[in-house]
Chain A
Amino acid sequence: MLGQLKKTQDPCLLVGIDTADDAGVYKINETTALIQTLDFFTPIVDDPYLFGQIAAANSLSDVYAMGGKPLTVMNIVAFPMNCLPPEVLRDILMGGQDKVIEAGAVIVGGHSIDDPEPKYGLSVTGIVHPNKILTNAGARLGDILIITKAIGTGVLATAARAEMFPDGVLASIESMATLNRRAAEVAIQYEIHSCTDITGFGLLGHAYEMASGSGVAMKIKAGDMPLLPDAAEAAAMGLVPAGAYTNREYLTTVSIDPSVPVHLQDLCFDPQTSGGLLLSVAPESAQSLLRELQQSGIKQARIIGEVISGERGEIYVY
């Protein structure tokens, strides 16, 4: 749909709307470019403080996915002022604020409207050196693909609504509320060719965007994908969100080897909230990057595939 809009001709616009990237990047001078992004959504957990944390971590993630550092944020709030107690809103904002502080950024303001359905998120401004931007369009042949968080938040959100798999649901909330800060800080020390964060289009949707933007193909080993606890069991018993089916239908360049169990296929398409980073890294750096990620507390980091030659955007899952 964005393709129908006029193309912007400003030479300072380094990343715009035409490459389906995580955030826009605008060059201020030779050493600084601004990263701008915003995201907000409806509650995905009952606890308002946790919802605030997750929404903020999710919004901040786009800056990390561009290789940048968040500086300032603004709250975006929709809230039924007359229906829910003000403490709920306070808790959402406190959750958000705690993540912003953890990110080393500051809240400079925001905007709220009265709305029957609560929504929360952040508009985030960050900075990056113009030569060190990580786009989702730089993956090269032979690169190794690493992801930094376990998959399954969509399936486990469905499990939460079904009041099943409480352990997995808790692990999922903890994962969603975790910033991608540390993962990004470690990653930018290495030769990263491309980076994006895994959100609503699922692992394969974002892998597709990266492959398509980079003009390459990828192969992904489904069995190597790190999974949240209970995610496999929940997917197998049909707690698969509608978004996973929509993603599967939309992603026509994905081919899956029939030997991959259906529940793993579903998890490959599972829409993630505040998911991890997908890194395309030079093969010689892959093992040491993986090791350092895991030693830095990002224990779920895994190598899941590689960049191969083939039709642009083609993904082979085996």
Chain B
Amino acid sequence: MSTNIDGRGLACPGPVIAIKKALEGISSGIVTILLDNKIAKENVVKFATTHGCGVSITEQEGDFLLTVCKGGAQPEQTMRADNAVAGDTVYVFTQDTLGQGNRELGAILIKGFLYTLLETTPKPKTLLFMNAGVLLTVEGSPVTDHLSKLAEGGVEILSCGTCLDYFAVKDKLAIGVITNMYTIVETMTTATKVITL
């Protein structure tokens, strides 16, 4: 079980009282609280820390989302169980290699990156492929194995339709689904964290 609190607009010590009440109601589990200022964030972190809870923070458009774990609960487990959007990360791949510089090195790095992503928890919510990035999700890509395993693990794989058209590989899509700019924007906007590669 996880409890989600919208603590925006609460004056001090409102956020601390809210997190206190939520944590008192459970012996273990996750409480997320969304806060709109640094002071509230600092104070809730202090409360969580002095009460033996783990806390992770993601910043989104000036607000702070705090995930407070009581009694050894792990945020990723609860997120999976609840399908919670909270704490979800979106990776955006804008090319078929990793980083600028040497293409050959970039090709090695992207394989290494996706392999590592596969071995790491928590998993991202979505991998978004745009521009030459779509060449990674089509037949003949060196990372189809890694991507299929990620997809099996529940990671959403989205490829930009316009980009697949441009490279004339729309009929060769191997993993995930085709998406449009509306969904891309929405996915990036609602993500707690967007990492662009």
Q: Roughly how many angstroms separate A245 CA and B13 CA in the complex, as a whole number? A: 13
Given contacts A158-B12, A245-B38, contact A238 B17 (CB under 8 A): no
The B interface is mostly helix, strand or loop, or mixed, namely helix
Residue of A nearest to B48 (CB): A238
B34 touches A (CB below 8 Å) = no
Q: Which of B44-66 contact A (CB under 8 A)?
A: 44-47, 50-51
State whether B38 touches A238 (Cβ < 8 A): no
Interface size on B, residues (CB 8 A): 15
Question: Which of B20, B42, B51 touches A245 (beta carbons < 8 Å)?
Answer: B42
Q: Roughly how many angstroms separate A240 CA and B44 CA in the complex, as a whole number? A: 10
Number of A-B contacts (CB under 8 A): 42
Question: Which of A159, A238, A245 touches B45 (beta carbons < 8 Å)?
Answer: A238
State whether A236 touches B39 (Cβ < 8 A): no
A242 touches B (CB below 8 Å) = yes
Q: Roughly how many angstroms separate A159 CA and B46 CA in the complex, as a whole number? A: 14
Per-residue contact bits, chain A 215-252, to B (CB 8 Å; 1 contact, 0 not): 00000000000000000000111111110010000000
Given contacts A158-B12, A162-B17, contact A240 B50 (CB under 8 A): no
B163 touches A (CB below 8 Å) = no
A-B contact pairs, 28 of them (CB 8 A): A158-B12, A158-B13, A159-B13, A161-B12, A161-B13, A162-B13, A162-B16, A162-B17, A162-B20, A235-B46, A236-B46, A236-B50, A237-B16, A237-B46, A237-B47, A238-B42, A238-B44, A238-B45, A238-B46, A239-B43, A240-B39, A240-B42, A240-B43, A240-B46, A242-B12, A242-B39, A245-B38, A262-B46
Pairs A-B, 3 closest by C-beta atoms:
A238-B46, A238-B43, A238-B47
